[in-house]
Chain A
Amino acid sequence: MPSTKLRQNLQQQTFGFTYPFAAIVGMPLTKRALLLLAVDPLLKSVVIAAASGSAKSVLGRSIAELFPRTGNARPPFVEVPVNVTDEKLFGGLDIEYALSTGSRRVERGLVSRADSGILYVDNISLLEPRLTNQLLTVIDQGRYQIEREGISAAVKADFVVVGSFGLGENELHRGLLERIGLIVSEPNGLTPDERTELLRRQDQFARDPGSFVQRFHEETIRARKLVQKARKRLSTVAIVDEDRKRLSEAALRFGITGSRAEIFAVRAARANAALSGRDAVTDEDLALAVQITLVPKALTEPKSGAQQDSREPEANSNDDRPPQRDQTNSTAQSTEQLSPSAIEDLVIDARNSEIPPDLDELLRSKKNNYGRPGTRLASSARHQIIVRTTSEKRGKHIRSTSSPKSKTSIDLFSTLVEAAPHQRSRPEPGNNRVRIEKSDLRFKQFKQKDGSLFIFVVDASGSMALNRMNQAKGALVSLLQRSYLNRDKVALIAFRKNGAEILLPPSQSVALAKRAVDSMPVGGATPLAAGLVAALEMVRRARQSGVAHTPVVVFTDGRANVGLTGSQENVRDQIEQIATEIRRRGIPTVVIDTHLKFTSSGEGERLANLLGGRYSYLPRADVKSLVNLIRGDDRI
């Protein structure tokens, strides 16, 4: 039956022991966060960001011991594999039961099994966004409404989530960040001494888990008692309005939208006070709360989330560090007042720039020719017929067919539905078993993760950046306007000064794209190589997550003058090397040469040749031809 159950059983038998929480070396912040979650399960979730191989899952598993026990039973600990399907995660029809009895019953999903326990998701950033979103709704509601395959049931699913993801791996989905209670990353690695100790303990645990666990037994009990005491104290821990305000103010300054983060912040502060045996929240509690509930949500990149920022909220308000760009409208506005205006940093106000006349026409034109095979765009915007590619194996299961083009998985539910009306007419073998014939079989058709990821790599150096940004913006937004048809995404990488920066991670949002371009700093040198490296990395991740079509569009005048290390040596060689790599991987590229007049020395063209991509000399913004170039002709 359910493979997870089987696996858990196996684990019980073969290992039988969980590495004790108390035996974990280092990682003080992570341990603290897990304790807080145990003290106040309404914090809902802890996500641990750490490099791979840093015992994230060991930590995640060990937390079950900290939770109060009912009787002598541990709370359920359920692990979610990254490739989990809808019905396994949330539950559905118990096919086995239906086949053998002809009756329906709910097969519990992982969320139901985790009820009043812990759901553990390793590599949570790799889970399909669709599933993550639903999972988050379950966390909020403590229940899940199954509406699938003939089953309609509300199941209890009240659990805490412990998740992890590797630093430098796929970034955490922004929406996910907002709903997560605590996000921790260890700022410091282990000291050599600690590493030695870790090795020693791992070895001991592997050789003789029984006595190892026994050795830490008392500490484990003590930790559990600590949690129990803190739980009792929690409801009486006071927090004054002044402190609530400080937390809210900190959230505002970090550009955090909505109120969830603050709710978590207050909870974390109180839980920490309770854990420390205090009856009122102190500045120490507030500082920790800010560090693990607010700071990580203020930044898009989990990497930067690793920066230590244990300053107190009030310290933050005196702090002039430039806030991050990718925040909400209003903070973006206040950002402009706050950020130090370095002379070469010029924030373009692209909002007031001219709209290329073609764009307007383009968007309303009745005809278009950017269709890709399998996706037909019909004429008027009001009556579009969308023909989607259905693939045989991958993606989300959308419907079923009796005649698959090739071998694919059987859709048991549809098969059952097909077989149902014929049951009477089929010979009785003397039991209740459902009789299925070959003609009943239905096969799953999947919707591929369709859509492309257009990666814009824009040269934001020098004075001409303004022009390029506008071109890029027009093309970005135009592409996105149609994204609801193709599920396309765009990303924006800018390079200037000493490196490249991801201004817009892959996104379908027009609002985000506009904001990213509008608040983009320009000026400085031209580190083209860094821009290309960033694009290459983004392609790698996109391909990992199943997006096959990832055209890279480079807006530049081709005159790179800074290399990867920030020095001006070997610039050409580096570009050649990276460009060759991009070409080797078959990544479609377009180079838009923005060099003005005839002073071009052919560098843009040379780059296009190296990349094996298309070249276009387009010094002036003309969104229509740009989009055509990128969209229509991107099949190189």
Chain B
Amino acid sequence: MKTNPKSAAKEKIEAQQPTAYPFTAIVGQDDMKLALILNVIDPHIGGVLVMGHRGTGKSTAVRGLAGLLPDVEKVKACIYGCDPSSVNLLCDDCRKRMRTGKALPRITGQVPVVDLPLGATEDRICGTIDIERALTQGVKSFEPGLLAKANRGFIYIDEVNLLEDHLVDVLLDVAASGRNIVEREGISVAHPARFVLVGSGNPEEGELRPQLLDRFGLYVEIETIYDLDDRVEIVKRRERFEVDPAGFLKEQEPEQKKLRLKIAKARESLEATIIDKATLRQIAELCVKLKIDGHRGELTMMRASRALAVFEGRKKVDDSDVERVAPMSLHHRLRKDPLESVGSKAKIEKEVESLFGDKRQKTRKVQSLA
């Protein structure tokens, strides 16, 4: 009689989670890959927006990210996956459980990566009354939505510039406060919803609202690869993957493992990484020179440069880190001038150059990602 929604969906129509194309098998697009990795190392960076041509591997990279995420500790049987060690961020249920005096039961689990499809409705994003329980048992209970599922993880929105405005409003609201407050259909619930926002889109489809743009920590512009050999390699890898996903994954596993370990190590050492006052001052100066409004630009740069330093195995942030993350941290925060001929990236690079001058090690190559 009463059908569980999950079992109902488990008729023959249900789809398996498709095998994701391995992150390390993506050819080129280093900026995008780096921006994603930095966010895994330090989720406080605030996410990435990847804009660029279609078919350049944007969503492939984001979907591949899941394969690199380290496991985290969660409170057992908590629908929000609360972190047992950060007491301040616990949900109401976990708080109650704590008050009983017992230690919260722990479990290791995956960092969630939640896809937010463009057609999602507000009730599924925020959560709403469990309609089935209400209808059959007359009980008002909360059915958590995607925001609950994404707590402590990532939310990915493909074609983010096409997202309906009323959904953008919801996201902005929750992203700013880290809490999802639901007051609808007789339900009154608030729960933690801290997530890293990852978006991608094609600028030819239209512009993004400035508030949403600003919400993304990093911004990466992705371009088509013009090198013929690289292009051929892209097509070949894709074919191999389509013919035999498992085999391809196995082939890539050593690389994947290497990167996974490197990220895990970086996460552990993040706290201990130093960023000195002089460097902070350089970051601030850069933002002043580029007339960046607000402080999110500086904060992002500070965190991103620290994450980059630790990723490359250094204990202290140096100029090269700041230089590398400046364009992706500030690009989308520059004031827009419609007739501007110089790209934002070039503008930032120019200022960076004048700031660091000669003491910069000109040709230091950024380490390859894997």
Interfacial residues, chain A to chain B (CB-CB below 8 A) = 42, 86, 90, 98, 101-106, 108, 112, 115, 130, 133-134, 137, 141-145, 147-157, 174-175, 178-179, 235, 241, 244-245, 248-249, 251-252, 257-263, 266, 328, 330, 351-353, 355, 359-360, 363-364, 381-382, 384, 386, 388, 396, 398-399, 416-421, 423-424, 432, 434, 447, 473-474, 477-478, 480-481, 483-485, 507-512, 514
Give the complex CA separation of A463 and B111 in angstroms.
Answer: 62
User: Are B54 and A147 within 8 A (Cβ)?
Assistant: no
A-B residue pairs in contact (CB < 8 Å), sample of 27: A104-B5, A105-B3, A106-B9, A134-B118, A142-B18, A147-B120, A149-B121, A150-B128, A153-B8, A174-B204, A248-B235, A249-B228, A251-B231, A257-B224, A259-B234, A262-B231, A263-B239, A355-B339, A382-B211, A396-B164, A399-B166, A417-B134, A421-B134, A447-B164, A477-B339, A480-B338, A481-B336
The answer to whether B208 and A484 have CB atoms under 8 Å apart is yes
Could you tell me if A257 and B15 are in contact, using CB atoms closer than 8 angstroms?
A: no
B211-260 interface with A by 8 A CB criterion? 211, 223-226, 228-229, 231-232, 234-236, 238-239, 242-243
Q: Are A363 and B336 in contact (CB under 8 A)?
A: yes
**Knowing that A105-B5, A156-B13 are A-B contacts, what are 11 other residue pairs whose CB atoms are under 8 Å apart, sorted by A's residue number?**
A42-B242, A102-B135, A104-B8, A145-B115, A145-B117, A244-B236, A359-B339, A418-B185, A421-B138, A423-B136, A514-B338
Chain B contributes a number of interface residues (CB within 8 A of A) equal to: 81
Contact between A150 and B136, CB atoms less than 8 A apart: no
Smallest CB gap from A142: residue in B: B18
A351 and B162 contacting across the interface, CB-CB below 8 Å: no
Query: From A507, which residue of chain B is reached at the shortest CB distance?
Result: B204
Q: Is B202 located at the chain interface by the 8 A CB criterion?
A: yes
Q: Which residues of A contact B185 (CB under 8 A)?
A: 417-418, 420-421
B277 within 8 A of A: no
| Complex interface: chain B residues within 8 A of A141 (CB) | 18
Interface string of B125-137 (1 = CB under 8 A from A): 1001101101110
**Given A263-B239, A328-B53, A155–B205 Cβ distance below 8 Å?**
no
B208 touches A103 (CB 8 A): no
- In the assembled complex, the Cα of A105 lies from the Cα of B2 at a distance in Å of 10
B235→A263 contact, CB < 8 A: yes
Are the CB atoms of B207 and A480 closer together than 8 Å?
A: yes
User: Shortest beta-carbon distance, A155 to chain B, in Å?
Assistant: 5
Do A112 and B135 touch across chains, with their CB atoms under 8 A apart?
no
How many Å from the CB of A77 to the closest CB on chain B?
Answer: 17
- Complex Cα distance, B134 from A7, in Å, reads 35
Tell me which residues across on chain B come within 8 A of A261, comparing CB atoms: 55
Could you tell me if B123 and A104 are in contact, using CB atoms closer than 8 angstroms?
no
A134: min CB distance to chain B, Å: 6
Please determine whether A248 and B231 come into contact, CB atoms closer than 8 angstroms: yes
Q: Which of B18, B120, B239 makes the CB contact (< 8 A) with A148? A: B120
Which residues of the other chain, A, contact B341 by a CB distance below 8 angstroms? 351-352
Given contacts A133-B159, A147-B119, A509-B205, contact A106 B56 (CB under 8 A): no
Provide the main secondary structure of the chain A interface.
Answer: helix
Q: B207–A105 contact, CB under 8 A? A: no
* Interface residue ranges of B310-337 to A (CB < 8 Å): 335-337
Q: Which residues of the partner chain A approach B236 to less than 8 Å between Cβ atoms? A: 244
Q: Shortest beta-carbon distance, A264 to chain B, in Å?
A: 10
Q: Which residues of A contact B118 (CB under 8 A)?
A: 130, 133-134
Task: Among A149, A157, A257, point to the contact of B123 (Cβ < 8 A).
Answer: A149
Within 8 A of A (CB), among B186-213: 186, 202-211
In the bound complex, do residue B124 and residue A112 qualify as a contact, i.e. CB atoms below 8 Å apart?
A: no
Query: Is B122 in contact with chain A by the CB < 8 A criterion?
Result: yes
Closest to B229 in A: A245
Q: Is the CB of B14 within 8 A of A153?
A: yes
> Which residues of chain B are within 8 angstroms of A509 by Cβ–Cβ distance?
203-207
Of all A-B residue pairs in the complex, the 7 with the closest CB atoms, nearest first, are A258-B55, A420-B134, A508-B206, A424-B138, A257-B53, A143-B15, A477-B338
Which chain A residues lie closer than 8 Å to B339 at the CB level?
Answer: 353, 355, 359, 473-474, 477
Whether, in the assembled complex, B1 has its beta carbon less than 8 Å from a beta carbon of chain A, the answer is: yes
Q: Which residues of A contact B223 (CB under 8 A)?
A: 330
Asked if A147 contacts B1 (CB within 8 A), the reply is no
Q: Are A259 and B131 in contact (CB under 8 A)?
A: no
Interface residue? B86 (CB, 8 A): no
Query: What are the residues of chain B within 8 A of A352 when measuring CB–CB?
Result: 341
Alpha-carbon distance between A96 and B134 when the two chains are bound, in angstroms = 17
Instruction: Give Cα distance in the complex from A420 to B143, angstroms.
Output: 14
* B25 interfacial contact with A, CB 8 Å: no
Report the separation of the CA atoms of residues A382 and B54 in the bound assembly, to the nearest whole angstrom: 30
Which of A90, A359, A477 is in CB contact (< 8 Å) with B119? A90
